[in-house]
Amino acid sequence: MGLLCSRHQHSNKADSENIQAAEIERRIERETIAEKHIQKLLLLEKIQFCSNVLNVLESLESQQFLSRQIKLLFQMGFDEAELKSYAPVIHANVYQTIKLLIDGSKELAQNEADSSKYGLSDDNKSFSDLPSRGNEIGDKLSEIGGRLDYPRLTKELSEDIEKLWKDPAIQVLVAFGSVDDGGSSRTFFETYARSSELQLPDCASYFMEHLKRLSDVTYVPTKEDVLFARVRTTGVVEIQFSPVGENKKSGEVYRLFDVGGQRNERRKWIHLFEGVTAVIFCAAISDYDQMLYEDESKNRMMETRELFEWVLKQRCFEKTSIMLFLNKFDIFEKKVQKVPLSSCEWFKDYQPVTSGKQEIEHAYEFVKKKFEELYYQCTAPDRVDRVFKIYRTTALDQKLVKKTFKLLDETLRRRNLSEAGLL
């Protein structure tokens, strides 16, 4: 009985709980052991599980998506002031995106002497056209994007940005690298490779589409805007929440540590590994054709694979539950139809069987199987009884995240009980 609380000693409120737990322990000991069933329920209701600590490893491009989702779902959400505080971040994303695109197109125009390779058959324009046409605007926006302090997003600026964004030469860069391809399908295979080289954030099209709203003087970001905003994490952010909701008293309190995914951040993870109940590993499955932010010679999916392997082999995670979130499924859906899955080395034995929606499911199952294989490869026989679950998530779908967390919560409680010998 003392097993439950003595195992997880990490709560801030541990003192009062320990006293409570000891009290109850004494009471139970005095009663007869015959009615075990009743005692189990008693234990569950009366003793609050001490905090479980979840450790989030957001692979590679940490977008703090979990932290923000959890805030919205299980905590009080964002109040007006907090929403407003995200406005500069969103504007920064806009400036950074357009700068990336302008610089990218200039580079491509310079590199490719034979610009007709990138010529668009429809309107007969090429990359080299962009600098001459939108030259001044492009230079100005590129310079703004390189500054430390961004100016407020005025109507003027947003119109300029929109004009450039709609330019065909830019759209081709965006076409296969992000969510929205602007509708028309272009079939230049060279551009596949190029666009995935740009470190385009996934929120690019979303924000560009809503530029008018974003540049409004009274702009207050919506919840959706906040979820889309891209912030690279450095260091560690800690969130405490209860999946059951703030109101209910019984229920675990989780402490979630959100960590950065870049290579330099990973040496800090080691400090958080002790006493962790579960590890949530978020792997962005739509990244199979992209390169790392911090090392553009390495494919993201390959890096994810190595990272996952490393996590699984850690000694301190022998008994830790591993939750794998296969994230960014919505982007994956759209991308897998255009960019072949076999372009990633890990998935090179993939054979598309059909097309359409079934193909997406087939591709997803393939990826999932690969991760499972990897898990069993890296798990020693004596560790095989640790919990391993895979969940499909989409960063922005609140319902899905909520459901996922409920499932996660159930799994962990079940594990706790079985460890305590009660199940």
Partner 1 sequence: MTRCAITGGCPSDYVAVSISALCVFLLLARSAIPFLYYKLSIPKGSAFWVPAIQILASLDLMVAIVMSVNLIKIEKRHWWWNSCYIWAVWLEGPFGFGLLLSCRIVQVFHLYFIFVKKHLPPLRSHIFLLLVLLPWVAAAAFIQLKKPLNHRCQMSAQWVAPLMVLHSIYVVIFVGLTRSIQHVNFRFDELTDLWRGVLVSTLSVVLWVVAYILNEIHDDVDWLRIASRFLLALMTSVFILAFFSYSSSQPLLSQVSLSKRECPAYESMSQALGIPNNGIQPQRRQSMAVDCNEPLDKLLLDRRFRRSFMAFADSCLAGESVHFYEEVLELGELPADDSVSRIYMARHIIQKYIVSGAPMEVNISHRTRQQILNSVDLGHPDLFKTALIELLQLMKTNLARDYWSSVYYMKFKEADAKMSAHELEMVTNWNITPRLSCVHAPDDPFHQENLFKSSDVMPSQ
| Residues at the contact surface with partner 1, assessed by CB under 8 A | 10, 12, 85, 89, 92, 146-149, 199, 231-238, 255, 257, 260, 262-268, 270-275, 291-298, 303, 306-307, 309-310
> Is residue 191 classed as helix, strand or coil in its secondary structure?
helix
| 96 φ/ψ angles, rounded to the nearest 5 degrees | -65, -40
Report the candidate in 194, 228, 191 with the shortest Cα–Cα distance to residue 94. 228
The minimum distance between CB 303 and partner 1, in angstroms, equals 6
| 322 φ/ψ angles, rounded to the nearest 5 degrees | -110, 120
Torsion from C-alpha of 204, 205, 210, 214, nearest 10 degrees? 10
The minimum distance between CB 249 and partner 1, in angstroms, equals 21
Q: Considering beta carbons, is residue 147 or 357 the nearer one to partner 1? A: 147
Q: Considering beta carbons, is residue 214 or 363 the nearer one to partner 1? A: 214
Q: Considering beta carbons, is residue 23 or 246 the nearer one to partner 1? A: 246
The minimum distance between CB 267 and partner 1, in angstroms, equals 6
Bridge-based pairing of strands 388-392 and 321-327 is parallel
The minimum distance between CB 192 and partner 1, in angstroms, equals 20
The minimum distance between CB 29 and partner 1, in angstroms, equals 32
Token representation of residue 80: 């007006």
Report the candidate in 253, 376, 222 with the shortest Cα–Cα distance to residue 308. 376
- Residues 47/27, Cβ–Cβ less than 8 Å: no
The minimum distance between CB 393 and partner 1, in angstroms, equals 23
Bridge partners (DSSP) listed for residue 57: 259, 281
Q: Considering beta carbons, is residue 164 or 291 the nearer one to partner 1? A: 291
Distance CA 96, CA 103 (A): 11
- Residues 195/291, Cβ–Cβ less than 8 Å: no
Q: Considering beta carbons, is residue 188 or 293 the nearer one to partner 1? A: 293
Q: How many CB atoms lie within 10 A of CB 297?
A: 6
Q: Considering beta carbons, is residue 149 or 156 the nearer one to partner 1? A: 149
Q: Considering beta carbons, is residue 35 or 246 the nearer one to partner 1? A: 246
Q: Considering beta carbons, is residue 158 or 304 the nearer one to partner 1? A: 304
The minimum distance between CB 322 and partner 1, in angstroms, equals 18
The minimum distance between CB 240 and partner 1, in angstroms, equals 8
| 151 φ/ψ angles, rounded to the nearest 5 degrees | -75, 165
| 237 φ/ψ angles, rounded to the nearest 5 degrees | -115, 135
Strands of the sheet containing 52-58, edge to edge, are 236-241, 254-259, 52-58, 278-284, 321-327, 388-392
